[in-house]
Amino acid sequence: MDNSHRDIQVWLKEYIEYITNSVSRNANYLETLTVVIEELKKLRTDIQRDITENEEQLKSSKEKLSNINRSKEKLLNMRDEVQICKLLTNTTFTYKASSIGGYTVGANSKKREFFEMNVKEFSKDEIINNLYNCLAEVSSTTKGSDTNKRLNNLEPV
């Protein structure tokens, strides 16, 4: 029995070592998993932050694009208005970065009235009033002209 008792002790000792080693391996594996889980949580947080930032940038870009499209539409409308003004008043415009100029011609006369205005010095209303006065001056020399009739229906701003 002594031998069998010794065999059981050896077996128990080996079994305890096996279990201790298994627990140590599992603890190490659990530690590694914990580190990986923390890294994944941090990565998830970073990705969520990036998604939020990208969504905000996308929203901002969509707003800018919408504003650009509205500006293009307004610009097209303004271009049409300028074309109508040019056709109705026999006015030719010259545009520079800091000024608007040109001349207007009466419908039945060869008189030209030249104008040039610094857009930084005049308000939009002043520019419109000056153009109106310029047109009125040219049309006043051609009584009964189409331009004069058209101007009678207009008023300065």
Number of folded domains that form the chain:
2
Identity of the residue numbered 148: N
d(CA 86, CA 84): 5
Tell me, yes or no, whether 79 lies in a domain: no
What torsion, rounded to 10 degrees, do the Cα atoms 102, 106, 108, 111 define? -70
**Per-residue pLDDT at 98:** 84
Asked if 69 and 108 sit in the same domain, the reply is: no
Q: For CA atoms 139, 144, 150, 155, give the dihedral sign.
A: positive
**Do the domain assignments include residue 24?**
yes
Within this chain, do residues 8 and 56 fall inside the same structural domain, yes or no?
Answer: yes
**Residues 128-142 pLDDT 10s:** 888 888 777 776 654
pLDDT tens-digit map of 18-56:
999 999 999 999 999 999 999 999 999 999 999 999 999
Q: pLDDT at residue 106 above 80?
A: no
Q: How confident is the model at residue 103 (pLDDT cuts 50, 70, 90)?
A: confident
